[in-house]
Amino acid sequence: MEVVGKKFSVRFDVQTATISFNGILDVRGKEGYQPIVALFDAVVERQPELITLDVRQLEFLNSSGIATIGSGLVIKVRNNGHIRLSICCSDKYPWQRRSMKGICKLMPGIELRFD
């Protein structure tokens, strides 16, 4: 499963249950993020034990993207109750440490890792 835009890609690897973000994600809210939300829905429906969100190669994410990850994935996983969530970040892009601080407050027990 993947969503590819002009400046970004979002891919789901079934074997590792990893959603990987690449590039610059600054599309407009609501409609722009709908395909990514559909991918999140499909991933959660598979009910893996652990979902890994890998944003290490994501150079930029706007507030609609933060809202999409927070509301469209993290809260959905939390409400499911049977899936753990791990987020892989990189200090190469300092925004990741800042933005993930808020996202982690949405679900207790998120594993947050930095390279």
Partner 1 sequence: MGDKSIIYGDFSEAPSRSEVQIVRFTAFAQDSDQFWENGSLSAFYISNFWETYFRSLKQYTRADIRDSVRYIAAELIGNAVKYSAIPEVSIKITFNLNTPEFRIFAINKVESAKAEAYKNFIERLLTGNPEKMYIDQMEKNAADRNWQSSIGFLTIMLDYDCQLAWKFKSDDDVNTLTTTTMVCLPITGKYLSNSGEPGNGSCWQKV
Q: List the interface residues with partner 1, window 6-35 (CB under 8 A).
A: 24, 26, 28-30, 33-34
Spatial CA neighbour of 34 closest among 64, 62, 57, 54: 64
User: Least CB distance from residue 13 to partner 1, whole Å?
Assistant: 23
Q: List the interface residues with partner 1, window 39-58 (CB under 8 A).
A: none
Q: In which element (H, E) is residue 64 found?
A: helix 63-69
User: Least CB distance from residue 23 to partner 1, whole Å?
Assistant: 12
Give whichever of 37 and 112 is closer to partner 1, judged by the CB atom: 37
Give whichever of 16 and 79 is closer to partner 1, judged by the CB atom: 79
DSSP letters for 78-113: HHHSS-EEEEEE-TTSTHHHHHHHHHHTTSTT-EEE
Mark residue 18 as left, alpha or beta (left: phi above 0; alpha: psi -120 to 50; beta: remaining). Answer: beta
Range in contact with partner 1 (rule: CB under 8 A) among 12-20, 49-57, 80-88, 96-104: 96-104
Q: What is the Cα–Cα distance from 14 to 2, expressed in whole angstroms?
A: 11
What is the gyration radius of the CA atoms in the chain, in angstroms? 13
Our finding on whether 38 is near partner 1 (CB under 8 A) is no
Binding residues (CB under 8 A) for partner 1: these are 24, 26, 28-30, 33-34, 37, 60, 62-64, 66-68, 70-72, 75-76, 79, 92-95, 98-99, 101-102, 105-106
